[in-house]
Structure 1
């Protein structure tokens, strides 16, 4: 049997990056190199000339590519490959450094043979221009005594099934029924379920629009590539902003990323190319809203209200030198609900009365249902989950619909994963991520009692931050969501509970479909309209708020 195995050097937990060494027969293929320190690669293979036979990079985000330059400098003869667009975007990971052209371009949907019997083929993965799903195929030589068949391994990198503003989503029809022996797939969002991408965009633009109408400036700290360019295109083309007398300033490496996208225009979706035929894609001082470069010395001098897109690494206090009132919107991370508190605290220290911090979701990865959809369409034998917090990946490996059909793995750094094909393989028991509790109806309240074991999960801290939760029905299931302190502070006039005779009044303020003082219930005659807090419609659905979660040991509870 051909040897198939995977040795992870980085699996994308927290900020460690992704780097996976795959062995197929006699060949070693390194998938991505997002390591900050590449020394483990040379130490592990000190007896070999190179740590791998070749390197394939899925896309240009730093957590997948930042170690490639150091790897090339350590092993100049080690071949590195990626899609054509990725080769052009890679230098943005080392701004200010002299970067040689060390990465070779591969075509889309065309198998390339690197060694006898080993081929690679790239498919567009969505997520970011140039991002690729990599299909590796190894066919043993005819003289081999092994069964004459090909072995296939598919690596998704970061992928997204939905279309975004500047990237078309992964086309499932290109991969459906591929039946790879091994699938290495990202699990950034675990089993979470998110609204449609367009709905996320509308919620974000509505929030920004209200802040501007209130005379506040909006600050958006962003990574160099991907989200910043998506947001800029969204603000330029959304109906809430087209023609609006407003300045949008773009700062630092986010601006460099925009310039790089302009060189990639022929590779962007046709709708984007049509847009660019009539007006500039990004930089435009003629058409409103105006989009301009922001120089470092201008950060404390820009007139309010305005929108600023800047680097995540910039000292945000530089923008607080003026008297403007700021709404700071951080992107919600895949494995956490907030940026490191010290970063926010430092910024708020400038003037907490003028600065409000909030978080938004504009998904760049697939949620749980989309991830399982991909797996079911591919029908692999082995599935390896990487790129996500350990708890999120554990949620995926614990899904019964996957556990009953596939051999699931969630590898750790340095843990060799052997991938036997066509042999009897006992699936290990899935991790137990469920908790049994009790419900008690006590007059006008309902108490949910859960065992204290739930507090061992690191996500408990976020859920129980304020002791308040929001509950909503999802089919026959009741979904609980913790309310964060900052979220309660930012409710302000957006949702003011109105009480009547000790009970919540049936009004828009207390309806679960009211967000941003706008109705989002498609069944309502007020759908997509701005509503008053005391408004009402026949399809009102109450917001269940301030339900207490009590934790205790169930056996002790039953004894009492």
Structure 2
């Protein structure tokens, strides 16, 4: 039997890059190279780590190591879709204007290409980002004495999305249905979470931005390649903003990404091409809302009237709002905020300044570019593989997927850590390991005035517990017949609507009005009680927290 295994140099946990070495027969195929440090791929002999490299798409966590890999091994062939070959250069922008070499070879869609004897690959659009590809590898072992030849297939999705977005059509599931690959390597970025419909997500974000502008707030939206362009097209075409006298400023690599999208316009959906025939896709000073590249001259005028800025995830946001932080709202994509929480809990370095702007009002939004749990399981059931290997997502989220009975009872599941060798035997002798235990039994008690739910303290060992228990306050809502609990983080307690909701509870239950304005630790519009979940945060006088201490007459301290 031919050997089939995968060595994981990077599996996308906690923001790390994805880099997988697939060994099928005598061949070695490197799937993506999102490593920032290539030392694991180098060896003393100087031989290349693989026979060829296939890149799924141009995002940094899948592609940032490709240029260095090419420089180390110039003869190592690297392949991707045509659009990806055009977008890859955005990972290595040179301030001096020098363009990186064109080293990646373009592959056509839906056309099997034989690279080596018996080894071929075919790519399909995977949604998520223009040019993103799901890679189908096929290998036919040469016949041996008294042993007939046998074929093996591996499908690597890269990052995928079944739904259409404004700039990318979703993965064509109908074309892959019933494929039955031996191995499916699939991302699980959102674990088992369920998301509302994409259009609902867009409408919710547009409504939130509209509310902020109505309150004379300016908005800053840090974004990655793909998300930044989706946001701009949403702002230009949504009925909340069309025709409104609003300036939308675009800065940094997001602006460079817009220029790159204009170069690949013939590859974008027909609806986008039709839009571009009537008005510019991005840069437009004539049609409202106006979309312009931010310049040093225009930067000095920011905030005089409400505006919107779309910029890099890694940008120093203080350059935009430093004159008047109170007039700005930072909106973070939910996945970036979760990534920061995971890295913080793991003791890793903090995310770039855009995600930790503590002096700026901050909220999160969901505009998904990956499938939720329902979409992930839908893909698996339609493909019917023998092995499923989950990558790309927090270890906890991937563990949730491997613990699903509907998957565990049908497929051989793997969720490896980086640096792991995963053997993928093909046949009926493989024993499925026990699924991880991710459920907790507790007790529910009804009292006269409240209901208590008691859970074992083992639940606190999960890295997600810190986010749930951050403030000690939770929100409960029904989802069908199930009760869903979520923690209320610090930043939500600072929102006016959340403060109002808490004050309603205080008014009804406390004649003393235990609000921040009457607390001995409230100074300079900030909380200075190190026992409070709002410690060092800017709070409103009407706010409330569980460790309120009443100010005594003549005790009000001066500002620190």
Query: Which residue in the other structure is 2:353 paired with?
Result: 343
Residues 514-533 of structure 1 aligned to structure 2 (within 5 Å): none
Query: Which residue in the other structure is 1:133 paired with?
Result: 134
Give deviations 1:475-522, integer Å, cap 9, x for gaps: 22111111111112114379636569959xxxxxxxxxxxxxxxxxxx
Contact 2:445 2:451 in 1 (8 A): yes
Task: Output the TM-score relative to the length of structure 1.
Answer: 0.85
Query: Which residue in the other structure is 1:376 paired with?
Result: 381
Q: Partners in 1 of 2:316 and 2:49 — Cα distance?
A: 38
Q: Partners in 2 of 1:144 and 1:28 — Cα distance?
A: 24
Q: Partners in 1 of 2:166 and 2:499 — Cα distance?
A: 28
Cα distance 1:345–1:333, how it changes in 2: closer, same or farther (>3 A)? Answer: closer
What's the offset of the Cα at 1:335? 8.0
Q: Does 1:172 pair with 2:177?
A: no
Contact 2:315 2:354 in 1 (8 A): no
Contact 1:189 1:334 in 2 (8 A): no
What's the offset of the Cα at 1:190? 0.6
What's the offset of the Cα at 1:149? 2.5
The range that moved more, 336-345 or 23-32, is: 336-345
Give deviations 1:341-384, integer Å, cap 9, x for gaps: 88369734xxx4xx311111111100011101100000000000
Q: Does 1:271 pair with 2:271?
A: yes
Give the CA RMSD over aligned residues: 2.1
Cα distance 1:487–1:147, how it changes in 2: closer, same or farther (>3 A)? Answer: farther
Query: Which residue in the other structure is 1:513 paired with?
Result: none
Q: Partners in 2 of 1:228 and 1:248 — Cα distance?
A: 12
Q: Secondary structure at the match of 1:434?
A: coil
Task: Output the TM-score relative to the length of structure 2.
Answer: 0.85
Alignment match of 2:404 (pick from 386, 399, 409): 399
Q: Does 1:57 pair with 2:55?
A: yes
Q: Secondary structure at the match of 2:203?
A: helix
Q: Secondary structure at the match of 1:425?
A: coil
Query: Which residue in the other structure is 1:527 paired with?
Result: none
Cα distance 1:319–1:236, how it changes in 2: closer, same or farther (>3 A)? Answer: same
Alignment match of 2:72 (pick from 71, 74, 81): 74
Residues 146-545 of structure 1 aligned to structure 2 (within 5 Å): 146-223=147-224, 225-296=225-296, 298-302=298-302, 303-323=304-324, 325-333=327-335, 336=338, 340=350, 343=353, 347-348=357-358, 352=359, 355-492=360-497, 496=501, 498=504, 502=508
What's the offset of the Cα at 1:39? 1.7
Query: Which residue in the other structure is 2:18 paired with?
Result: 18
List structure 1 segments (4+ residues) > 6 angstroms apart after TM superposition.
none
Q: Which runs of 5+ in 2 are unaligned?
A: 342-349, 510-544, 547-560
Q: Partners in 1 of 2:173 and 2:145 — Cα distance?
A: 34
Query: Which residue in the other structure is 2:110 paired with?
Result: 109
The range that moved more, 303-312 or 261-270, is: 303-312
Contact 1:135 1:154 in 2 (8 A): yes
Q: Partners in 2 of 1:426 and 1:208 — Cα distance?
A: 52
Query: Which residue in the other structure is 1:120 paired with?
Result: 121
The range that moved more, 27-36 or 317-326, is: 317-326
Q: Secondary structure at the match of 1:453?
A: helix
Q: Secondary structure at the match of 1:366?
A: coil
Q: Partners in 2 of 1:375 and 1:86 — Cα distance?
A: 25
Q: Which runs of 5+ in 1 are unaligned?
A: 504-545, 548-560
Cα distance 1:38–1:310, how it changes in 2: closer, same or farther (>3 A)? Answer: same
Q: Partners in 2 of 1:500 and 1:27 — Cα distance?
A: 67
Q: How many residues align?
A: 497
Cα distance 1:334–1:182, how it changes in 2: closer, same or farther (>3 A)? Answer: farther
What's the offset of the Cα at 1:296? 4.2
Q: Partners in 2 of 1:139 and 1:345 — Cα distance?
A: 48
Contact 1:332 1:338 in 2 (8 A): no
What's the offset of the Cα at 1:469? 1.3
Q: Secondary structure at the match of 1:292?
A: strand
